[in-house]
Structure 1
């Protein structure tokens, strides 16, 4: 039976421990300290008893509390001689020694309904000081007609969905919509700050259904159909946009290219030089200058009327 700091409460096998008049016995006591928020700490301590050869208690030790607690701390103490395992020397006689500490979390435990349940299942916990093993059986259950994770809910079954429970906390007065689980217990409770509608759904501030998707008002089939239609509409809009872009590209390729207009300006007003300011297309041939022979010196002007 090991103790902290390399000590033990029995004589090591390789030593005689002649200083002891009688064979030492390891007397152990277990102190259970239970705690919860906003409540006083409670405890239960066993008598000092001798463990059997396997390290088990000779008799079952039990305790009962009327409140729901979040954790249990178990302290194991030894009363008797303290002997050094290395050299077999006696350290102290009839000394109370803290042997090990165990922590039993209860925050994730769902209480049963209908009183104490079967305690055949054992839970194993490892000590924080020596790493010893503690096997503990316990049952957490709600007493009376109240149910829920904190055993404070008064619930009625929904007339629309038999798996839904409309609940009210007897401690706070708050409303919840929960789901029935095995054994008549409820879980997955959602708070309803504005009350419960139709004994099934959380009510919003305006009297409607709060968060209808999670409340189950909208069926999963309808939600699936809505998603499919939304995807199809998006694809259709994308096709229309692509078609519009393609039409614009085709029309731009078929449109004739406007010929570039080039104009030249010279000094003077357009009226005085009409030919030099006329616009023409760049690809038109450049007009050739007129070539004519000058009149002879003895040429005579033509008459306007025949003689």
Structure 2
């Protein structure tokens, strides 16, 4: 691999001069800088990031810690943040935790050890104390889920309002026996979503006892299992409301396998909005998440704050909320 030594030998310059030219040091003339950059391009020079950081340079990598990228929502967040960082001279180092607190700790430790410029994280529900300590010491921003006691900035979605709107839509159509399928954990998002559904019942003065709540893991199998329980319930549920992308996929699979008439037999509101939701059956009424605005606002704020070097701003309790939107298609009808 071509290094500074080879470039220096080719141009007849010292290694220190090469390093200063690449760092845009004002002590080096514009002509010399241009010669060095041209030689680097011609010879395929690749900078030594660890060495540059030991000399006091800074990393241009941003750690992005996500639970998974198997659904379009997190994949789109990763894509948008990567493009945002790339336009601003940074690169994303992606970490997938699978919502495992031990994996989360190991990845955070490695990212901090690699001296990334900062970390954007969707935290697990119950992280290790070591993970919390690492976050408190390093520039970071939480996304979607919010950990109490960590401090720093948070960018998320108004989950309570999103599920309020979805439940309100079904209640306005005359549905009262609604089955809510959510996620059974201590994440702030899970609790906010269920709170929104219950608030909609209260606003309509509907009997809260008619709301059936099914809580389980956030995966397609949980959606299928909950759907089977809903079908066997008596009296029959007239509408289903999902609060998870993976759960939505499981319910859709179950609907297809059981050949359920939607919305003739039952109305259904999903969560998330990949493009194919509009092609499914009559089209899926769903909670569309603000991926672009959320990821872009988070990325730009974080990068601007990192450039300013404002430790106070990074530790401040900055909060930013993006609104989801209910997209009404053919999977919901009047009771």
TM bucket, shorter chain: under 0.3
More helix by share: 2
Q: Does 1 or 2 have the higher relative contact order (CA < 8 Å, sep 6+)?
A: 2
Q: TM-score, normalised by structure 1?
A: 0.24
Q: TM-score, normalised by structure 2?
A: 0.23
More strand by share: 1
The structure having more radius of gyration, on CA atoms, is 1
